[in-house]
Amino acid sequence: MLSRAFKQIWLIAGVCVLGAGACAPVNAADYSEEVVKAAYLFRLASYVDWPGGADKGDFVIAVLGSPPMARQLAGLAGTHLIKNHAVQVREASSLRDIADPDMLYVGSGRADSLRSWKPAASRSTLIVTDEEGGLRNGGMLNFLTIDRRVRFEVSLTAADQAHLKISSELLALAVRVFGVPQQSRKPCANCAVGGAP
């Protein structure tokens, strides 16, 4: 059963992602950034379309370099679904331990290791990084903390290469979006055309 604080964060993440208000500050005295970011990962995933998502089994999240995030995600996995699928969380200590997950969360200080990892061609993996420059290293979503608020930026270029479609609603809430939306998407007011990443 989720604690009261965790339920509060779950609601805050839903409100932030749905755009119904300003995101609450990350206050270490109340809850850790891992708690907030774990709730965000579950919420953000509902705004991403994976190819063949309806036909797959469990939704697999791999966590590289952040045992606290793995614990928080595992706590959510027991009580929440992603895209109507049960969730498995796998903690990885190195890239060799990652076996083509649906989502890969890369802890702070580990994003540069992504340059040597490529998911199988048959699998689309949403890569979420958590450090400055994470998108340049292959991330598709990157967490930022701005004025004690958890925010995110998006690389449409990397998402398109993995055949992932990120909804226009999510793009509208990003601090920055790099790349150009596909023709099927609505115009993106905060998209940075061209340039990195």
Looking at residue 132, its pLDDT comes to 87
pTM: 0.79
Confidence of residue 18 (pLDDT cuts 50, 70, 90): very low
> What average pLDDT does this structure show over 10-18?
48
Compute the distance between CA of residue 84 and CA of residue 103 in angstroms, rounded to an integer. 15
Looking at residue 164, its pLDDT comes to 93
Q: How do strand 165-166 and strand 149-155 relate by DSSP bridges? A: unpaired
Confidence of residue 193 (pLDDT cuts 50, 70, 90): very low
Q: Inter-axis angle of helices 33-45 and 4-18, to 10 degrees?
A: 50
Looking at residue 154, its pLDDT comes to 96
For 63-92, the pLDDT digits (tens) are 998 999 999 999 889 888 888 899 999 998
Instruction: Tell me the two tokens of residue 190.
Output: 């905060």
Instruction: Tell me the two tokens of residue 33.
Output: 């950034």
For 21-40, the pLDDT digits (tens) are 445 444 444 567 888 899 88
Residue 180 has pLDDT above 80, yes or no: no
